[in-house]
Amino acid sequence: MTITTRSSIGRVHLLLMLALTFSTGVIDAVGYLGLDRVFTGNMTGNVVILGMGLTGVDDLPVVGPVVALAGFMAGAAIGGRTLRARDAGWSGKTTAMFTVVAIMLSTATVTMALDPHPTEALQLVITASLGLAMGLQAAVARHIAVRDVTTVVVTSTITGLAADSAAGGEGMPFWKRRMGAIVLIGAGACCGALLLNVHIAAGMALSAAITVAVTIVGHRTRGMALT
């Protein structure tokens, strides 16, 4: 494989991970605004909500964040164990894992479309499912190893952007992808919030569609790498 081909695949993977970052923003907006103030992708925010909820302040949820956290960790563990023996990059197992994420998001979409006002028990099931999907996505994205784009968190990305800026004394390496990740997760959250005005399942449907597209395109890059 030529250096040009490797570079092209790297750019495609970057764009795919940025697309999933946008998708995570959508899902987190749906989870926080539509599923009782729970983040299913951003575990930093979720743990903070859980910590405050344990004090009883502002009637913040406790069970939901715990369920989301447990689901996320389970998904990340499954993804990590499945891909542990594989070299970094896209493989057949990567495609399989993202396909599972797409199926889980699609299932949640159909469930919410059929029952837009779910019971508390069903909300927790959906929260667990979304947490599992986002944890799996994060583990697979970590394995693909696109620098500064984890798809689920931007705190470290913001830190890198500021620390490596001119003010930080190190120039601006990777600033475009870092800024892109920050803007896209915010844009995704904005889009997810707006889609809630249409239907609670609309944001989930968008995220599912993005994941399907990412899976298809990513699998094709695997074919490029094998040629």
| pTM assigned to the model | 0.89
Task: Delimit the domains of the chain by residue range.
Answer: 3-226
Nearest to 20 by CA among 110, 166, 146, 176: 146
Q: Which tens digits make up the pLDDT trace of 51-109?
A: 999 999 888 999 999 999 999 999 999 999 999 888 888 989 999 999 999 999 999 99
Nearest to 111 by CA among 35, 22, 14, 225: 35
Considering the domain 3-226 in this protein, what is its CATH number? 1.20.1250
The arithmetic mean of pLDDT across residues 20-24, rounded, is 96
Choice between 168 and 217, residue whose per-residue pLDDT is larger? 217
Amino acid letter, residue 174: F
Q: Is 197 exposed, middle or buried (0-12, 13-18, 19+ CB in 10 A)?
A: exposed
Q: Is 117 exposed, middle or buried (0-12, 13-18, 19+ CB in 10 A)?
A: exposed
The arithmetic mean of pLDDT across residues 140-163, rounded, is 82
Report whether pLDDT(2) > 50. Answer: no
